[in-house]
A = this chain, B = another copy of it.
Amino acid sequence: MTRIHESDSFHTDMAIGNLTYDKKITALLVIDPYNDFISEGGKVWDRLKTVAEANGCIPHMLQILNAARKAELRVFYALHHRYRPGDYETWKYIAPVQKAAWLHKAFEYGTWGGEIRREFEPQPGEIVALEHWCSSGFANTDLDLQLKKHGIHQLIVMGLIAHTCVEATVRYAAELGYQVTMVKDATADYSDEEMHAALAVNIPNYASAVVTTTEIVDSIFSTSQLTLEPEEIHQ
């Protein structure tokens, strides 16, 4: 499950092996840290709990978020549409994954389940993209625009659920021209089978690196050092 696609010679600012990134063009992308997904009592947590806990998903996500903030990497949030009354009712066409969201009223607007888990709340200067209707954080939202407006080309991706929103967002990111790093122990899924399909079968085709939390945190800190300007170092 841990095939790592070593990065390449295409982007000269990126030294893989010890994994460093150019802070100016790199962002952390956090996918769906809703209470319904990752908090005790959330609508979907019971189905995700086993894989999430085995993978250390929540503490790893928190560790990476804190590292990114400390290193001053820009943080972006890709969030699923929060259910509101009337949604879907007039649609002629609907995908199974949307029917499920409708049925379960996932992330219901105005409820605790539809709020971001407290430790992951966006801070000033962090960008929350418009909510998406299916699985990809890019489709029918301003995520691509917001990344461009901040000069971002490389994404470090973490969050939920591996084989739906995460894989969809990683695939779209690659289709649209971004360089992606996936953190494999900062995600979760309903089952090992679905986790495997995402992390071992599909994502390695679209993410240039699939890494652990330890690896990415090390890289983020070495990154922030590498991009210091000489005058900053000597201050």
Contact = CB atoms under 8 A, between A and B. Distances in A.
Contact of A93 (B135, B136, B148, B197): B148
A97 B136 contact: no
Contacts of A196: 197
A231 to B, nearest CB: 15
A177 B206 contact: no
Contacts of A234: none
Given A93-B148, A124-B86, A150-B90, A140 B175 contact: yes
Contacts of A194: 201
A206 B168 CA distance: 11
A108 interface: no
Contacts of A151: 25, 92-93, 153
Contacts of A11: 92-93
Contact of A178 (B124, B139, B148, B153): B148
A58 interface: no
Contact of A140 (B99, B144, B167, B168): B144
B153 A133 contact: no
Interface string A89-109: 111111111010000000000
A17 B193 CA distance: 29
A233 interface: no
Interface of A: 5, 8, 10-11, 25, 74, 86, 89-97, 99, 124-125, 127, 130-131, 133-136, 139-142, 144-145, 148-151, 153-154, 163-164, 167-168, 171-172, 174-180, 193-194, 196-197, 201-202, 204-208
User: What 10 A-B pairs come out closest when comparing CB atoms?
Assistant: A148-B177, A197-B197, A139-B175, A140-B142, A95-B174, A97-B205, A197-B201, A93-B179, A91-B149, A140-B145
